[in-house]
Amino acid sequence: MGWLWAIIVGFVLGLIAKAIIPGKQHSPLWLTTICGILGAIAGNAIARGFGIAETPGIDWGRHIFQLVAAIIIVFFVDMLYMQMRGRKQQRV
């Protein structure tokens, strides 16, 4: 069941990150979901590094780290996606 939650959280984080980043992102939804999952993993690791452990209730600090990591990852992956897409179209 853990993998299902990872997909759901990644999907939500990816969509929120896309909404926060200005301009249009061109990466497909599956790639945004993967970026959201990676953002959740990276955010958890960073939160642990800062000493924010799981607490009863909502872990706002951990969620903020996850969201910031997802925004950064979605931004850079979308840039790479557009560069790769542009190179592919130039070859054709």
Number of domains in the chain: 1
Tens digits of residue pLDDT in 52-71:
866 777 788 888 999 999 99
DSSP class per residue in 36-87? HHHHHHHHHHHHHHTT----SS--HHHHHHHHHHHHHHHHHHHHHHHHHHHH
**58-67 long-range contacts, Cβ below 8 Å, gap at least 24?**
66/9, 66/13, 66/39, 66/40, 66/42, 67/13, 67/16, 67/17, 67/39, 67/43
Q: Which domain holds residue 10?
A: 2-91
> How much is the pTM?
0.85
Tens digits of residue pLDDT in 76-90:
999 999 898 877 766
Q: What is the pLDDT of residue 67?
A: 94
Residue predicted with more confidence, 89 or 18: 18
Residue predicted with more confidence, 17 or 91: 17
